[in-house]
Amino acid sequence: MNPPRCRTWFRTLLVQASFNYERMIGVGWAFAIEPLLRTLPGGVGGERYLKAMRRATQFFNSHPYMAGMAIGAVAKAEHEGLPDETIRRLRHALIGPLGSVGDRLIWAGTLPVSVAAGLIVTARVSPIAGALTLLVMYNGVHFAIRSWALHAGWTEGKQVSRALTAKGIQRGLRVLGPLAALLAGLALPVLGSWLSSGFSVGAQSSMVAVAVVALMFSWWVVPTFGGLRFGLAAAAIALAVGGIW
């Protein structure tokens, strides 16, 4: 990677630092693309640089790891001197696909797979091994995707959509979802057993009963309530009952 791309790569790690409800990660996106725009004809402060920066600060949102792909593609388009409207459309058109692919690949795939593996290793081997498993599995994919995204964007330019349909990505999307569901299912009984070891059979049965109520509550009764609020409510009731007891 040449120095401007290297600088941009590091800046993409901070792309969400100024997240706001008006332009989402737009300002962070502009912060990250800026090193790649310095070498435009006219240099920093030149007409093309300022025009590109004006476009860069507008609304943008996508999966943060995939934002580099849009950054690379738009920077390449700026260097190629494509018409303003084409660059604006390219930037806008990438928002949906990069969000969708990133969310499925990372949040619904790599993250639950790594977390479930980490939890199983914690219960079966040791907590430190579990935490390391999570970090190594997740970040292996995480940093590979960040680097690939910026590289693919810069290489493909306005044809960047080809990178999203690459075989590896499509295979990842097909495999990771079911794998996450399988591993998460596997992890739950293993963890239940690990957490409740040392408790009486009555306490273990009560734990399973609370788990079933929580599942039914989140599935059928109030799906938008969320685990945190259910946990807080259940803990408050248990604290009150425990206090009286």
Restricting to residues 139-168, name those near other proteins by CB under 8 A. Answer: 139, 142
- Do the beta carbons of residue 11 and residue 31 sit within 8 Å? yes
Rounded to the nearest angstrom, the gap between the alpha carbon of residue 224 and the centroid of all alpha carbons in its chain is 21
Q: Which one, 135 or 159, has the nearer CB to other proteins?
A: 135
- Which tokens is 87 given? 């660059």
Binding-site member from 4, 7, 82, 108 for other proteins (CB under 8 A): 108
- Do the beta carbons of residue 170 and residue 104 sit within 8 Å? no
39 contributes a contact to other proteins by CB under 8 A = no
- For the CB of residue 110, give the shortest distance to other proteins in the complex, in Å: 10
Binding-site member from 43, 96, 140, 189 for other proteins (CB under 8 A): 189
Which span (1-9, 70-78, 85-93, 130-138) binds other proteins, by CB under 8 A? 130-138
Compute the distance between CA of residue 100 and CA of residue 119 in angstroms, rounded to an integer: 27
123 contributes a contact to other proteins by CB under 8 A = yes
43 contributes a contact to other proteins by CB under 8 A = no
178 contributes a contact to other proteins by CB under 8 A = yes
6 contributes a contact to other proteins by CB under 8 A = no
Q: Tokens 């800046």 belong to which residue?
A: 11
Q: Which string of x and - marks every residue 51-80 that binds other proteins (by CB under 8 A)?
A: xxxxxxx---x--xx---------------
- For the CB of residue 70, give the shortest distance to other proteins in the complex, in Å: 16
Of the candidates 179, 160, 194, the one whose C-alpha atom is nearest the C-alpha of residue 105 is: 179
- Do the beta carbons of residue 89 and residue 58 sit within 8 Å? no
* Range 177-184 contact pairs with CB under 8 angstroms and sequence separation of 24 or more: 177/104, 177/108, 177/109, 179/109, 179/113, 180/108, 180/109, 180/112, 180/113, 180/116, 183/112, 183/113, 183/116, 183/117, 183/120, 184/112, 184/115, 184/116
Residue 60 bridge partners (DSSP): 24
- For the CB of residue 159, give the shortest distance to other proteins in the complex, in Å: 26
Give how many residues touch other proteins by CB under 8 A.
103
Binding-site member from 107, 125, 162, 166 for other proteins (CB under 8 A): 107
- For the CB of residue 84, give the shortest distance to other proteins in the complex, in Å: 13
Of the candidates 154, 151, 149, the one whose C-alpha atom is nearest the C-alpha of residue 164 is: 149
175 contributes a contact to other proteins by CB under 8 A = no
Binding-site member from 41, 42, 96, 127 for other proteins (CB under 8 A): 127
For the four alpha carbons of 195, 200, 206 and 209, in that order, the dihedral sign comes to positive
136 contributes a contact to other proteins by CB under 8 A = no
